[in-house]
Amino acid sequence: MRKQIAAANWKMNLTYQQAEKLIDDLLALPHQLKENQQVIFAVPFPYLTMVTHKLAGKQNVFVAAQNCYNKKSGAYTGETSVEMLQSIGVHHVVIGHSERREYFHESNEMLAEKVDICLANNITPIFCCGEPLTFREANEQDLFVAKQLLESLYHLSAEDIQKVVIAYEPIWAIGTGKTATNQQAQDIQAFIRHQIAGHYSEAIANNISILYGGSVKAANAKDIFSQADVDGGLVGGASLIADEFNTIINSLK
């Protein structure tokens, strides 16, 4: 059974004190995760250790870094390696978020290197893909996403591809309040699964969690997550509000 995942992406938000209060408030709220359900908190680098300690002993709840560097170590001032992350108990990393691609010009080739170094260090990559508005309006979203998968993931073995979580994020729906319709979300995520099945096998494709990330809120989470090929969400703004994100967690199927 595929993992159903509610992943919070705090982005560059919250002071340390605000972050500590948010995680405490969330952990105090009622939710009971099933065996196939996970909650992941992708928090800013300065808060990783604090959140890791808060989650110690919690079942199916994990902390993630929002990025890592594509080199093992060396003279890369300001960067963070996967070995550093692993040494403080971090076992998930968000790779290739659209904001990293746009603002920091991360290429598909660089993201392939990041995926590789994560897997080599037993860290789960949450690999983001998705199209900008111009490609959606031209009905070329499938081609755009297929290229991202081809250039960043398809070099992986059948064993390793199953260790990756994929997060589809329509760039035009991030932080805009716009959300893909339930059918749009299902169609593109079914397309992603079909592409993986064609390159590997249907059994492998059906074993990979594919999340939706585009203005997921408490009000729409249940309907979005109910789609056959949507295995949860990568949640931005709504994950900064304890009650809101808790409702999203409880919307997992």
Active site residues: 97, 169
- State the DSSP code for 3: P
Name, in order, each residue with C-beta under 8 angstroms of 253's C-beta and a sequence gap of 6 or more. 4, 225, 226
Name, in order, each residue with C-beta under 8 angstroms of 35's C-beta and a sequence gap of 6 or more. 60
Tokens 């939710």, located at residue = 31
User: Which stretches of the chain are DSSP H helices?
Assistant: 16-28, 48-54, 82-87, 98-104, 108-120, 133-137, 141-152, 158-161, 182-199, 202-205, 218-225, 242-249
DSSP, collapsed to helix, strand or coil, labels residue 193 as: helix
Beta bridge partners of 234: 7
